[in-house]
């Protein structure tokens, strides 16, 4: 498929521009092992089950506007420790350790910067639109210096709307300063990214680096494995 009338390209971030080599559970295990002496007799499975439950609850409290993301994330760890009768003063150290391990486990896709640079040289406006806590997503954006390769970045917490909600795409369209139908959105999830963008009137492509969604019900030509495949779609090969 060719997109001949595109003025801007928007990217999801996680698993689109950057990839993770360790899951949240893997990182939680490392943090647990680092502070196991202070967490005993709590087992890892008890720690993980409680942490995941609190993380889910506090995430929705952020989405509902009850707590800002940074506070919700802090209480994820503090409330986990309290529920396990562990010292809540350990919370800041767990967060610091988690952040460090998370950043170590994230890497920019091999072709991301080259593709974005070629798009910008062609005059396209570029943006990142990502769901998540602002404190975490901004940390990843800064760590990988993604700001230097796009014109703007939008984190869902900051606009009070989360993909696939139309409002976050509306905010992105406003930043792109062009009509929705002249914007191409690239993301790795069917519902949040591909369908969310299409429902908001944008063009969209689903990227699947590991070919795990090859049977997704999407139109021919809107499925790619690598970011470089976008260039011929935009007439930039």
Tens digit of pLDDT for each residue in 43-64? 999 999 999 999 999 999 999 9
User: Stretch 124-134: mean pLDDT, rounded?
Assistant: 98
User: In terms of residues, how long is the chain?
Assistant: 237
Is the pLDDT reported for residue 214 higher than 60? Answer: no
CB distance 225 to 207 below 8 Å? yes
Is the pLDDT reported for residue 223 higher than 60? Answer: yes
Domains for the chain: give ranges and CATH numbers: 8-20+107-233 (3.40.50.1000), 24-104 (1.10.150.240)
Is the pLDDT reported for residue 211 higher than 80? Answer: no
Which residues 6+ apart lie within 8 Å of 96 measured at CB? Answer: none
pLDDT of residue 218: 75
CA–CA separation, 57 vs 91, rounded Å?
17
User: Stretch 206-217: mean pLDDT, rounded?
Assistant: 74
pLDDT of residue 98: 97
CB distance 153 to 126 below 8 Å? no
> Would you call 49 helix, strand, or coil by DSSP?
helix
Mean pLDDT of the chain: 95
**In the structure, what pLDDT confidence band is assigned to residue 4 with cuts at 50, 70 and 90?**
confident
Tens digit of pLDDT for each residue in 158-194? 999 999 999 999 999 999 999 999 999 999 999 999 9
CA–CA separation, 17 vs 10, rounded Å?
11
Cα pseudo-dihedral 189, 139, 95, 134, rounded to 10 = -60
CB distance 236 to 119 below 8 Å? yes
Closest CA to 153 of 129, 188, 178: 129
User: Stretch 107-128: mean pLDDT, rounded?
Assistant: 97
pLDDT of residue 141: 98
């Amino acid at each position: 498929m060719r997109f001949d009338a595109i003025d801007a390209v928007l990217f999801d971030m996680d698993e689109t521009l950057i990839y993770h080599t360790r899951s949240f559970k893997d990182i939680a295990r490392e943090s647990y092992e680092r502070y196991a002496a202070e967490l005993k007799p709590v087992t890892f499975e008890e720690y993980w089950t409680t942490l995941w439950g609190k993380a889910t609850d506090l995430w929705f409290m952020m989405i509902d506007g009850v707590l800002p993301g940074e506070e919700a994330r802090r209480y994820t760890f503090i409330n986990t420790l309290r529920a396990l009768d562990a010292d809540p003063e350990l919370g800041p150290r767990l967060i610091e350790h988690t952040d460090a391990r998370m950043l170590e486990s994230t890497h920019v896709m091999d072709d991301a910067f080259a593709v974005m640079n070629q798009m910008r040289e062609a005059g396209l406006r570029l943006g990142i639109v990502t769901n998540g806590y602002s404190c975490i997503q901004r940390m990843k954006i800064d760590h990988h210096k993604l700001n230097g390769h796009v014109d703007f970045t939008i984190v869902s917490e900051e606009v009070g709307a989360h993909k696939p909600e139309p409002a976050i795409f509306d905010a992105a369209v406003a930043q792109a300063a062009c009509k929705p139908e002249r914007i191409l959105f690239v993301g790795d999830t069917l519902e949040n990214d591909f369908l969310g963008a299409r429902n908001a009137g944008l063009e969209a492509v689903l990227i699947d680096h590991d070919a795990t969604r090859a049977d997704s019900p999407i139109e021919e030509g809107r499925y790619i494995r690598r970011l470089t495949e976008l260039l011929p779609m935009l007439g930039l090969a």
